[in-house]
Amino acid sequence: MWSPTGPDGTVAAGWLLIPLRLFLGTTFLFAGLQKLANPEFFKTSSASSIHAQLVGASHSSPIHGLTSHLVPIASTVGLLISIGEVAIGLGILVGLLTRVAAVAGMALSLGLFLTVSFHASPYFTGSDIVFFFAWTPFVLGGAAGAPAFDTWLAQRQPMTASTEGGLPRRVVLSHGALAALAAGVVLVAGGLAALLGRAVGGTAASASGTRTLTRGGPGSTTTTSQAGTGGSTTPTTGSTSAGTAIGSASSVPIGGSASFTDPSSGDPALVIQRVANDFVAFDAICPHAGCTVAYQASARIIACPCHGSMFDPRTGNVRNGPATSGLTKINVIRGSNGNLYVTN
């Protein structure tokens, strides 16, 4: 099994596919562990969470009817995706149940294409459709003679099947034992990644540096008025404007941003304090493909992590495509009690 050429001098197809196999396996393994190690991925209030991604998909995905039902169980969906990616990556790397792992990888890639990159234009700029077809050689041929547990087990099994025409008992036991061992490795690796992520990343700020506002404070409405020009807000007295509290203004760093949930739509949203007491907020769903955007303070730009669209942090207008329309602006003011409020 370790020789790339057979008795007739031909090279087994599996050997030719080893670079692709290593790439797919490493990519899916890394993606799964990265999700498990990132507490923000499972935190409903985070702009980078699986919840925010599913909310965005419910607006733009061709299967939005399905994704909208998954929003209430977003954390469970995220956990299943993460563990699935780890299992797929390990299965392909060691060549155990290669066809099964490849079918699962193809299904996951198709799901990501329909929810994340469906609107990428031209279509080949979205990576998920490429991953979908990259799995096909392994779906059709499995390990195809390359070094793998599947190849080793195939060579160890008896040349003749059982008298009843089924699989030899030893083959079934061998596959079952190795599959159980692989499942144990997946669970241990996932658990360790999650513990490590919580130990080093469980802070109020997300991985992108965006903080998350928490509703609360003294009441859900206030009496404030918007003062000044250019979107600057200053607490005043004497006029009233009812709004919904989204969190403390002090939680938004000057020159930075914080995420929150838009109380009117339930969408992930973003509030930016470019200079002191100058707050501006936008719906954080990218109008191109429904991904959740984030503010990059160093570049002073709102960017979409999926396809590279960029938006003006003052107006929400498009600076660079592929998005063709800007972000929806949300009216936000700072109350006299120091909280931020979304107004109608």
Domain positions in the chain? 13-201, 211-342
Q: Which CATH number fits domain 211-342: 2.40.30.30, 3.30.70.240, 2.102.10.10, 3.40.50.300?
A: 2.102.10.10
pLDDT of residue 225: 41
For 255-307, write each residue's pLDDT tens digit.
888 888 888 888 888 999 988 888 999 998 888 777 788 888 888 889 887 77
Q: Whole-model pTM?
A: 0.65
pLDDT of residue 87: 93
User: Helix 149-156 to helix 169-201 angle, to the nearest 10 degrees?
Assistant: 160
Which of the four pLDDT bands, split at 50, 70 and 90, describes residue 158? low
Exposed / middle / buried, residue 10 (Cβ in 10 Å: 0-12, 13-18, 19+): exposed
Return the percentage of the chain with pLDDT > 90, whole number: 26
Q: Is the pLDDT of residue 219 over 80?
A: no
For 46-75, write each residue's pLDDT tens digit.
666 788 788 777 777 888 888 888 888 988
Do the strands 294-296 and 279-283 form a parallel or antiparallel pair, or are they unpaired?
A: unpaired
Partners of 285 in the beta sheet? 292
Q: What is the DSSP letter of 124?
A: G
Q: Is the pLDDT of residue 29 over 70?
A: yes
Please enumerate in sequence order all residues whose Cβ is within 8 A of that of 84, keeping only pairs 6 or more positions apart, or say none. 32, 104, 108
Q: Is the pLDDT of residue 220 over 70?
A: no
Q: What is the chain's mean pLDDT, rounded?
A: 78
Q: Is the pLDDT of residue 94 over 50?
A: yes
